[in-house]
Structure 1
Amino acid sequence: MQHSKVKAAVKTVCLVLSLLLVFSGFHQVFRFKYTDGIYGMDRFYALEPNTVDVLNLGSSHMFVDVNPAVLWEDYGISSFNLGGSSQPLWNTYYYLKEALKTQTPKLLVLESFGASLPFEYSDPGNIIKNISALKPSANKLAALQVSVPEGEWLGYGLEFIQYHSRYKQLAKADFMGTGVAENPQLFLPVDENWMGGMTFLAVSPFEPVSIPASDARSPLLPKTEEYYRKIIELAQSEQIPILIFTSPYFWYSEKQSLYHEAAGIAEEYGVPFLNFNEDYAKTMDWSTDFADVGHMSYLGSEKFSHMLAGYLHVQYTLPDRRGDTDYAAWEENAAFYRAALENHSLTSISDVETYLNTLVALPETYLIFLSLDGNYMASPYDLRAGLEKLGVPRVDSGTPGAWVHSGGALVTGFHGSGPYRWSSAEENDDLTVDQTGLYCNRTNYKKVADGLNVLVYNRKTATVADTVGFSAPAGAAPVR
């Protein structure tokens, strides 16, 4: 009898453990992994303890405008952007409390957009982005209670209610556990060493906006002011210096008096407050530096990050971690950022000769697939001569062919109508060239029937950097 009870208990325990394992796997795949509020906290948890010297906090005005890769490249600053979209200051406060469980930063940098937000509760999407990544704890419970109206706690506390039906939205990144932007075509991709900076690829020219000369102050919302003060007081109780700044953006003048109030409160605590809006017309280029009315483009972010890095270097004693193997993740993040930016630069080239010259200079981390197809001889630009720069032997007039190039040399090549086939199994992707086209994961990226087709794969970023066809009948115009 006793044996039967033990056997039944063991079966029950095994069943419970099995169900927990199944649910854990379900949770890891189905949970949201947005880079503007969830994947950043995932990455933060993965960092080695006490490696973040500068913790950057706030909304997208922080994590889009400030690039940790630039701070690292300039001065070896190991920084991390920890925030969420339209993050209210109560969420920033609980993010800070969570961060201090594993990190002891030498400086906190708070972007102040959250002080200007006009609401007591975020919209549902941003509530999810700002609380769901927190690990179960008393801190997360407190964040939930202040972020969500009381009658809605259960719906946000049991997260599977939010994501259980998103099976139609599942993508490769969900199974790999990597972050993805809500609109990935607008941002550079990220990797497993990401330090929280989102890079906006759009460039939107604007007319300069004049900032009125005013010292007027308007009170912050009581809830906002409460948590603004709590952030400052928590930093000071932990004896961590804090710098507060306002990032440049177009709607500033509408909320200028709120930022003046935030600056005044900071002054009460002896905390420096930098308002980059009051003087940013002298430092920013309105025609190139913004992606939209609220965020900087990758060009503006680079410029602004260089400026901020220089200020931090002069005003604070921060170690240069470059060359320290304990901080290799920051070096990898910077290298990935540069590689991803190089990918983007390819997509902006429209002239075939310039494009081929650029391919010649790419490092060996790139795998370049090329094919001459159909009536490519109709091109006014000599495509065969252009390919010779990449080591491709000149084929007979009108003869089709395909080649693979990497690191300044040909890997393989074929000419004639085929059949032929060459494949490369990369870390996350399968690449193939045959007589029918250029493939990544069985998707054919052949763009034109008559002309030159190109697929460029970057092994560093593990992504297709660019696919383009130069149409011979259209004067070698690019087709993407």
Structure 2
Amino acid sequence: MKKAIIEICSFAIVFAVMISTAFRFLSFKDTGGGGGFQNYYSTESGLIDVLFLGSSHAHCTVNNAKLWEDAGISSFTLSSGNQSIDTSYVFLNEALKTQHPKIVFVETYTFDTTNTENDTINIYRSSLLPKWHPSSLMYELSLQEDYDFDNTTLGEIYLRFPITHSRYEDLKSTDFCNYYPYKRGYLGSTETGSCNLGTTTDATTKLNAKTQKYMDMMISRCKEDNIRLIFFCAPYNITEDAYAYQNSIGEYAVANGAEFYNMNSPEYISLFDGNTDFRYDEHLNNSGADKATQILEDIILGSGIVEDHRGDEAYREWDADLTFMQDRMLCFDLYTDELELPEYLTYLTSYDSSRFKIIVALAGDYKVLGTDSYNMFEPIGIDANEYSMGGVFMDGNSYAVSDDHSYIDLGENECSIVYDKESSSCRLYYGIEEYAECQNGAVMLIYDTEISAPVDTVYLDYYNFGLRILRDDNIEVVGN
């Protein structure tokens, strides 16, 4: 009898571990932007002083790295694409289980949306991303009223596994590995498009019941925890009707003890340039986000309730996020269309690259451009004589190649160069994934040792493209 009980318990434990592991890989993770719940949950409790919630306008507006670099503000953006007001409340309620922010900003772009149409992705984000908890049932029951779900669909959302179990075909490498656990939310963009600015009105319009309901719930929740709650509207090509709704949001917020800032108001919109500060989709680019973040930074510092945490080892994830964003800024230059090798190396060496490991492997007829080209890698330490001998180099030094393989220790990770004698080509692998291949030319990997991540991987095909920089945009590097 005792043996049977032990066997049953052992089976139950093994089964539970298997289900838990499968759920971790299969669980829905797509937030459409922001820092994401994976990174939020992995952040040590009590470190986040300022929390941002909202739609894509939140994670395109708030440069968390700038807040950290300027003033040591430990912020996090827990946003999602097209995040509705009820989702913002769910995220807030979940966020306060592990963190105790002093200030919460909620971006209001979607507040006028009633969600009368099914928005499956948004529903998944609000109900499947936070950890499962029995209290989730109250929110998920409200979905039946708001979205007219049948009981079967509602049950699958509540139990989760029927949905996650169907994700086999959708699995990506990011389901198995969190490449950037330190990301706080902002990614940035140098894309530039025209955006019409300046629409204003003093009119107001009646708030829908859903807006009032969830604003009340957020205000009440923040008052319970003595959190300063600030609603804000990011700048965009706003219509008069939308502006009137934002006016009403502002009045309601202030009347109920919260705050509101509309960056489309004359006070703020004059700071933005519709020709240089926006992307084609009316979100802010890097230039615009810097301006908007400065506005938010001034509001935060004006409160006098947040500390400067720079230099504190407990906040190393914010240091890593700043490094990540600095690498992103370099990549915005490196990803210039039809960039050629000399320009690429100029950008690379003009940046503080002391934390980089730079791997170069030559293959095939790499001498085809003639002896005058042998010194083209000199900016990264490979002189003409070394180039003429070929092989693999790291930081300008020749690296041993044995049996057509070269394994390169990068610290926490490794890459390898594999040569194929038949095709005279070489392949560069990062971990077990192939990142680049060349037949007559070179492959390069730029690796940041501080954040243990590949910044960029490129290859040169001398026969077909000369010195033009080529890359696979589907691989996982900081630049992508």
Go from structure 1 to structure 2 and tell me whether the alpha carbon gap of 1:137 and 1:128 turns closer, same or farther (over 3 Å shift): same
What amino acid does structure 2 have at the position aligned with 1:422?
S
Taking only aligned residues, the RMSD between alpha carbons, in angstroms, comes to: 3.0
Say whether residues 1:274 and 2:264 are aligned partners: no
Counterpart for residue 354 of structure 2: 363
Say whether residues 1:193 and 2:189 are aligned partners: no
Go from structure 1 to structure 2 and tell me whether the alpha carbon gap of 1:472 and 1:456 turns closer, same or farther (over 3 Å shift): farther
What amino acid does structure 2 have at the position aligned with 1:423?
Y
Secondary structure of 1:353's aligned partner: helix
Counterpart for residue 290 of structure 1: 278
Go from structure 1 to structure 2 and tell me whether the alpha carbon gap of 1:329 and 1:359 turns closer, same or farther (over 3 Å shift): closer
The whole-number CA distance in structure 2 between the counterparts of 1:445 and 1:432 is: 10
Equivalent pair of 1:339/1:461 in contact (CA under 8 Å)? no
Counterpart for residue 165 of structure 2: 164
Equivalent pair of 2:238/2:264 in contact (CA under 8 Å)? no
Q: How does 1:404-423 map to 2 (within 5 A)?
A: 404-406=393-395, 409-412=396-399, 420-423=404-407
Go from structure 1 to structure 2 and tell me whether the alpha carbon gap of 1:363 and 1:292 turns closer, same or farther (over 3 Å shift): same
Choose 337-346 or 211-220, whichever is displaced more.
Answer: 337-346
Q: How high is the TM-score relative to the length of structure 2? A: 0.84
Say whether residues 1:8 and 2:8 are aligned partners: no
Equivalent pair of 2:263/2:269 in contact (CA under 8 Å)? no
The one of 358, 379, 399 equivalent to 1:389 is 379
Q: Count how many residue pairs are aligned between Structure 1 and Structure 2.
A: 454
Say whether residues 1:101 and 2:101 are aligned partners: no
What amino acid does structure 2 have at the position aligned with 1:165?
S
The one of 363, 371, 374 equivalent to 2:365 is 374
Counterpart for residue 336 of structure 2: 348
Equivalent pair of 1:452/1:470 in contact (CA under 8 Å)? yes
Write out per-residue CA displacement over residues 291-334 of structure 1, whole angstroms, 9 at most, x where no aligned residue: 34242234432342233213322344321111122222222222
Counterpart for residue 246 of structure 2: 259
Counterpart for residue 417 of structure 2: 432
Q: Could you tell me which runs of 5 or more consecutive residues in structure 2 were left unpaired when the two chains were aligned.
A: 472-480
Equivalent pair of 2:405/2:416 in contact (CA under 8 Å)? no
Equivalent pair of 1:32/1:38 in contact (CA under 8 Å)? no
Report deviation, 1:33. Answer: 1.9
The one of 1, 7, 29 equivalent to 2:25 is 29
The whole-number CA distance in structure 1 between the counterparts of 2:182 and 2:202 is: 43
Q: How does 1:83-122 map to 2 (within 5 A)?
A: 83-120=79-116
Say whether residues 1:236 and 2:223 are aligned partners: yes
Report deviation, 1:369. Answer: 1.3
The whole-number CA distance in structure 1 between the counterparts of 2:206 and 2:374 is: 68
The whole-number CA distance in structure 2 between the counterparts of 1:213 and 1:340 is: 35
The whole-number CA distance in structure 1 between the counterparts of 2:386 and 2:312 is: 54
The whole-number CA distance in structure 2 between the counterparts of 1:458 and 1:35 is: 26
Q: How high is the TM-score relative to the length of structure 1? A: 0.84
What amino acid does structure 2 have at the position aligned with 1:328?
R
Write out per-residue CA displacement over residues 22-55 of structure 1, whole angstroms, 9 at most, x where no aligned residue: 1111101111222437972232222222221111
Counterpart for residue 40 of structure 1: 36
Equivalent pair of 2:34/2:59 in contact (CA under 8 Å)? no
Secondary structure of 2:222's aligned partner: helix
Report deviation, 1:156. Answer: 0.8
What amino acid does structure 2 have at the position aligned with 1:231?
M
Report deviation, 1:18. Answer: 1.8
Go from structure 1 to structure 2 and tell me whether the alpha carbon gap of 1:26 and 1:251 turns closer, same or farther (over 3 Å shift): same
Secondary structure of 1:80's aligned partner: strand
Choose 346-355 or 125-134, whichever is displaced more.
Answer: 346-355
The whole-number CA distance in structure 2 between the counterparts of 1:221 and 1:302 is: 33
Q: Could you tell me which runs of 5 or more consecutive residues in structure 1 were left unpaired when the two chains were aligned.
A: 179-189
Go from structure 1 to structure 2 and tell me whether the alpha carbon gap of 1:370 and 1:356 turns closer, same or farther (over 3 Å shift): farther
What amino acid does structure 2 have at the position aligned with 1:276?
M
Go from structure 1 to structure 2 and tell me whether the alpha carbon gap of 1:359 and 1:403 turns closer, same or farther (over 3 Å shift): farther
The whole-number CA distance in structure 1 between the counterparts of 2:435 and 2:80 is: 37
Write out per-residue CA displacement over residues 375-433 of structure 1, whole angstroms, 9 at most, x where no aligned residue: 65447x94322222322231499x57234232xx425378xxx9754221443553215
What amino acid does structure 2 have at the position aligned with 1:389?
P
Say whether residues 1:221 and 2:221 are aligned partners: no
What amino acid does structure 1 have at the position aligned with 2:217?
K
The whole-number CA distance in structure 2 between the counterparts of 1:55 and 1:396 is: 52
Percent identity of paired positions between Structure 1 and Structure 2: 24
Equivalent pair of 2:363/2:438 in contact (CA under 8 Å)? no
